[in-house]
Homo-oligomer: A and B are copies of this chain.
């Protein structure tokens, strides 16, 4: 969902305009009558608003509590499945201490776990450093694809007029642009027959010599695996660290072997970087904008000089160059956050998506919601905040009513345009047809181009959470937003349900582990709402404002209680759930093989593959 970043620049640039429009625009000024802005200071009518703040908060607690219970049941049902799912029999162990002399990793891991689980331990698979073997594998797969493509092109060229056809050729130099011209089919066949033995040798070397200090363990029962994933195995927490194995398809292999300290340090460093990004995201953009002035541009790219001398173009470029930098940065942001999340050392794709989504939420709330509300560049405001830290909430509360109209239209735009695009899938359709026409040669290519991908939680979730934040924060000041909110989420339920069932293809399954993450952000939004209201009522000089102090405290306690009560089951599998009967005895060999990375798998794979050859 790239909608948000595209809306963002509009949000920031149009904001001042919209603000001034409020009085002149008929429709919106009518809406404004419903809002709290018109209520005088110390008015007794403020009581109604105060009760509304309580009502909204209590309903939110109730719904969140019910939802957490419901999701717990859903997760339990998913985990109790009678189907054999490979990851439920596997455990990931990291931070294995150095083996004794003359002992391989595999021997070490096996002897350690066989002593602890004599009956249920099946076998282990040491994680290996697959960089080299992956490179050869990718090259080989590339040539295989190219061969199929070349053969398809050759077959198509065999028309009635030319029954022999034209054998496709390509150049073997840089990007196929320079170098010797060769027959594609012959060349690919040659390369494949050259790479296959190379891959096999490399596989053997990797399995034997590149074992890393982490491994996947396989157990014969779900209970044994679930229990092993939760127990302390080593005496210190930085040795024999265990956790649930992620699904094979979402394993981030390169993160598996990071040491405990490196993971911890990375995590804190990245939290720090993200905090800086959230707080000061305008600074790098400013720097880029400073460097990309027209003058510098003309110096760096002299061939643009004649174009830029035309006064119309010059004006446009001069006006939009900083905006351009902003847009590029905002489009890049989710990718940056995803990169940062993966760099934390997280072992699974779904966890990385959750981490990125969480970071993006705080970014949007801080920069879009608070940023737009307070207005102006955040950097100047920060200086003010630094000088009067207690004034922040008042500042926010003070600016809140002015932005009501802007956020009403923001939510409306999001569901009209956003859901329109979502349902019609216009952009992917255009891209598909372009791809089909110019790039696809074989049926596989066409299928790949058509594939819709997954939901893209990393940006979709923070987008929806931003709407939640907006709806909550304006629910009392401008209750009309509730109607927009109902439309947004009502339509969203219908449309995304359709998309989930009939369009998107999930790339992984985390069994509801996204929920606690959503729950926490929900409560963060609620807390922001309650604190803002506290500021707002105190601006109105309502003497019963201190009654509202109860709410943020309740929210913190509610968060704490929910976390304590429910979160444990989302961190690991309850044994009660894992103990449910399976439909059939699991084929352990099959379970084990599903975790072998494709670059190491081969039909010749035998039992001693990871053995001490």
Contact = CB atoms under 8 A, between A and B. Distances in A.
Contacts of A228: 227
A230 interface: yes
A542 to B, nearest CB: 28
Nearest to A227: B231
B565 A232 contact: no
A565 B239 CA distance: 9
Nearest to A564: B237
Number of copies: 2
B235 A574 contact: yes
Contacts of A522: none
Contact of A116 (B76, B237, B240, B579): B579
A569 B232 contact: yes
A572 interface: yes
A305 to B, nearest CB: 54
A177 interface: no
A264 B116 CA distance: 34
A486 to B, nearest CB: 31
Given A227-B227, A228-B227, A233 B574 contact: yes
Interface string A566-582: 11110011111111000
Contact of A237 (B112, B234, B565): B565
A236 B576 CA distance: 11
Contacts of A116: 223, 575-576, 578-579
A182 to B, nearest CB: 59
A564 B263 CA distance: 13
A227 B234 CA distance: 13
A233 B231 CA distance: 13
Interface string A512-533: 0000000000000000000000
A119 interface: yes
Contact of A574 (B226, B234, B567, B572): B234
A564 B267 CA distance: 15
Interface in A198-244: 223, 226-228, 230-238, 240
A115 interface: yes
Contacts of A223: 116-117
A599 interface: no
A577 B235 contact: yes
Contacts of A264: 564
Given A231-B231, A234-B574, A235-B576, 12 more contacts: A112-B576, A115-B579, A116-B578, A117-B223, A227-B231, A230-B231, A231-B575, A232-B569, A233-B575, A236-B569, A237-B566, A264-B564
Interface of A: 72, 76, 112, 115-117, 119, 223, 226-228, 230-238, 240, 264, 564-569, 572-579
